[in-house]
Amino acid sequence: MSETVQQTARSLQGYRIELAPTPEQCVRLAQHAGLARVAENFYLEKIRAALAQRAAEQTYGVAEEELTRVPWTAPQLEALWRTAHPDRFPWFIAEGLSSRVPKEAARCRASALKNWVASRAGKYKGPKVGFPVWRKRRDGSRFRYDADRAKPADARTVSLPGIGKVATREDMSWLTGRIEAGDARVLGATVKERAGRWWISFQLDVDRTALNASRTAPAGADACGLDLGLTVFATLRNDDGTTEEIQAPKPLKRALRKLARANRALVRKAEGSANRARQARKVAALHLKVAHQRADFLHQTTTWLARTKRAIAVETLHIAGMMKNHRLARAIQDAGWGEFIRQLRYKTIWYGAYLHAVDRWFASSKTCSECKRVHRGLALADRQWACVGCGAVHDREVNASTNLLDDMLPVLEALELERGQVAA
């Protein structure tokens, strides 16, 4: 299986920046996050009540056209909120909270219902989706704005409805300049809190034509096969015969002792005490640091690959199945393979590289890269092995990446030939 790459003038892109709110603004942010949680739970309450009423009516033999209608769509849910909030949630108006937040909460619930129905019908691409569940405080603080209601006011400030102008911890000239030039448009924004810190993520429609052209891999850049592993994060076999290794920082493994010590201190604190809340923030900050270290490594690595390789062959991994091996699950999660492949997919599109995804059943590790004989008895612990057919001695990762490269080369040559003919 292969993926062809087409350069597009405009693309969807996320842009996340950390906010620097004042203490008063932190309170307002938390209020809007609470509003989003209340609104989502209100919508779910109405949906469940309508489903229960409909099921009861069916047992009474009520005709299909006379059954209670379930509010599946966002406009129907919004109408229920407008009717109910003056009596049930008077604080919504009294506190002057933004009306855009419950509006987006309705869209989120409607989208979740749509995905659940599609999953039940077998039309949803991806893992099975369950029925929406109640939002709880421990699920995290977040809320959304639609369209460009939330947007940059200048390079160091964002304007948030119901909150005001909030400073940012980083410069946003990259975004504000493109918005002013008409090369970027805000489609929506999500505000989220983690470990006491607030971020805003803009969903953008961006014209990346000039940006991508300036960062495309140079002519004659290597094509490579890339084998993911745990001891060595990635082993690359280039078409010029050279081999490269990428080592991962393994941030979770390095932080395990600190996390264990912090969690032991947490459970010793009294329930509901200020000390327990303070220690919980310390634990959350450690987890956030691990997540940021992993994300930084993955972004830097995928960007480097997409800008320096003209083609990359990777194996399609069934990561959910691999995670069932409890001896390897934590190491696989720490490596971030799924996020690595996801980033590689869109960055190769950005920078004009070719990504070749080999079928998961392709025996890249067990196949001899010299004579193509398959070693069926190869165990996971065998890091080196000798082919009984030709006698070649292989390093497991180098052999796998070579086989991935060999599988891609005929497709790549045909694609490059086609592009050459078109250009001619």
Q: Which DSSP string do the residues of 175-198 spell out, in sequence order?
A: HHHHHHHTSEEEEEEEEEEETTEE
Angle in degrees, 0-180, between the axes of helices 274-308 and 337-350, rounded to the nearest 10: 40
The ranges of the chain with pLDDT < 70 are: 1-9, 421-424
Q: How much is the pLDDT for 111?
A: 95
Structural contact between residues 191 and 126, judged by C-beta atoms closer than 8 angstroms? no
Task: List all residues 6 or more positions away from 123 whose beta carbon is below 8 Å from its beta carbon.
Answer: none
pLDDT of the residue at 1: 36
Q: What is the pLDDT of residue 140?
A: 87
Give the helix/strand (H/E) hosting 90: none
Rounded Cα distance, 277 and 395, in Å:
50
Helices and strands in the chain: count of H runs, count of E runs: 12, 14
The pLDDT value recorded for residue 9 is 59
Region of residue 196 (left: phi > 0; alpha: psi -120 to 50; beta: else): left
pLDDT value of residue 383: 83
pLDDT for the residue numbered 399: 92
Residue 131: φ, ψ to 5°: -70, 145
pLDDT, position 227: 94
Q: Domain extents for the chain?
A: 10-209, 215-423
CATH, range 215-423: 3.30.420
Question: CA 357, CA 313: separation in Å to the nearest integer?
Answer: 6
